[in-house]
């Protein structure tokens, strides 16, 4: 699998542009705009969790919605059944995601290509089927009544979409800086090398399986955070969130944005979600348009929108 050029400067520039747009839109936008930005930000967190393992380790997961679900359901159960604060719930779901990701990763990271995709798909579908039939998790009705973090003591009203939107942006920034740090560090470079030539990493004494398991578990933890924030935004969780098509949409986002740049995944999530939303308001066959757009990008735009930005950057030099 191909990943975009290692270009930390463009990565930061793109993040700053997207951040500026979201802050301006958040401040001057309507109630709906703010809700929409929070939604895009959460999808961006999910997309970069997928981007991280696809570009660092070459692992394409079609079952990552399972971790989105683990984060969402854990938050719901922890905050409703056990009275744990929403912020602590989100932090706990990260740990739960990491641990489950590590256990699953230990058994599957040695698989390559299509085998890895199919096993993650099977795991995701098993989880989805279980969630649908579990009374404890509310079955097909899901769970409702999930609250947002309470920072009223310091004068912040999290039920205001403006503040909640900034709250999820802060989460995205924290995760972004963690992942860029790892990407630039030896572990990230080794993971990138595994994607390019895992055989050679073994031959120079690399801990191939351990690197991949760490990346997978970290990615699972990040997807869980996205799930946790998602239920806090909507106050509700249903099994549809764990369906494999959600993972598929995440993959479309990172391919559109350009795999491997982190900022590209955020851009991909933003563009795809806006197009999805706007088109579905206008036409019934919006999925067809998205499909053609996706095929166009795969065939004619190597490295997705990131590649386009890189070419613009070169021309401007």
Task: Tell whether residue 189 is a contact of other proteins (CB under 8 A).
Answer: yes
Residue 208 binds other proteins, judged by CB under 8 A: yes
Say how far apart CA 100 and CA 108 lie, in whole Å: 12
Residues whose CB falls within 8 Å of the CB of residue 254, separated by 6 or more in sequence, listed in order: 47, 50, 51, 54, 264, 265, 268
Q: Which of 183, 204, 203 is nearest to 192 (CA)?
A: 183
Block residue for tokens 């088109």: 279
Determine which residue in the list 199, 314, 315, 317 makes contact with other proteins, applying CB under 8 A: 199
- Which candidate, 72, 81, 65, 96, places its Cα nearest to that of 136? 81
If the CB atoms of residues 199 and 315 are measured against other proteins, the closer one turns out to be 199
Tokens 């984060």 — which residue? 71
- Residue 179 CB, nearest approach to other proteins (Å): 10
Q: Does 9 bind other proteins (CB under 8 A)?
A: no
> Which stretch in 46-54, 59-67, 98-106, 185-193 sits in contact with other proteins by CB under 8 A?
185-193
Residue with smaller CB distance to other proteins, 39 or 303:
303
155 vs 186, which CB is nearer to other proteins?
186
302 interacts with other proteins by CB under 8 A: no
Pattern of binders to other proteins over 89-128, x per CB under 8 A?
----------------------------------------
> Helix axis angle, 208-234 relative to 31-55, nearest 10°?
170
Applying CB under 8 A, which of residues 26, 41, 190, 247 lies at the interface with other proteins? 190
Q: Among 108, 143, 146, 145, which Cα is nearest to 124's?
A: 108
The residue among 125 and 192 lying less far from other proteins, judged by its C-beta, is 192
Q: Are 268 and 220 in contact (CB under 8 A)?
A: no
Tokens of 137: 């998790």
Contact in structure between 131 and 242 (CB atoms under 8 Å): yes
Q: Please, which residues bridge with residue 143 across strands?
A: 237
Among 58, 97, 149, 188, binds other proteins (CB under 8 A): 188
Number of residues in contact with other proteins under rule CB under 8 A: 29
Residue with Cβ nearer other proteins (7 or 22): 7
Nearer Cβ to other proteins, position 192 or 240?
192
Contact in structure between 2 and 195 (CB atoms under 8 Å): no
Which of 6, 35, 106, 110 forms a contact with other proteins (CB under 8 A)? 6
Positions touching other proteins (CB under 8 A) are: 2-3, 5-6, 181-182, 184-190, 192-193, 196-197, 199-200, 202-208, 210-211, 214
């Amino acid at each position: 699998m191909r990943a975009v050029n290692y270009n930390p400067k463009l990565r930061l520039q793109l993040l700053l542009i997207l951040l500026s747009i979201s802050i301006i839109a958040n401040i001057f936008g309507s109630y709906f705009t703010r809700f929409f930005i929070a939604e895009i930000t959460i999808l961006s967190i999910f997309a970069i969790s997928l981007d991280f393992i696809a570009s660092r380790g070459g692992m394409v997961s079609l079952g990552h919605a399972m971790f989105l679900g683990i984060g969402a359901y854990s938050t719901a159960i922890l905050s409703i059944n056990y009275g744990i604060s929403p912020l602590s719930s989100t932090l706990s779901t990260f740990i739960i995601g990491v641990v489950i990701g590590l256990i699953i990763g230990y058994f599957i990271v040695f698989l390559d290509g299509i085998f890895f995709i199919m096993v993650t798909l099977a795991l995701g579908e098993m989880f989805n089927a279980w969630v649908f039939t579990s009374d404890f998790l509310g079955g097909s009705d899901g769970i409702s009544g999930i609250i947002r973090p309470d920072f009223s003591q310091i004068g912040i009203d999290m039920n205001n979409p403006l503040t909640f939107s900034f709250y999820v942006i802060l989460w995205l920034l924290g995760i972004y800086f963690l992942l860029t740090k790892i990407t630039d560090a030896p572990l990230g470079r080794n993971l990138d090398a595994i994607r390019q030539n895992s055989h050679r990493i073994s031959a120079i004494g690399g801990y191939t399986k351990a690197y991949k398991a760490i990346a997978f578990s970290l990615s699972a933890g990040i997807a869980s955070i996205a799930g946790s924030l998602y239920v806090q935004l909507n106050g509700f969780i249903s099994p549809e969130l764990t369906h494999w098509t959600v993972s598929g949409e995440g993959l479309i986002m990172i391919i559109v944005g350009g795999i491997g740049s982190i900022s590209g995944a955020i851009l991909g999530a933003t563009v795809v979600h806006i197009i999805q939303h706007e088109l579905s308001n206008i036409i019934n066959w919006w999925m067809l348009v998205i499909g053609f757009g996706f095929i166009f990008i795969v065939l004619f735009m190597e490295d997705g929108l990131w590649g386009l930005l890189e070419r613009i950057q070169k021309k401007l030099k």
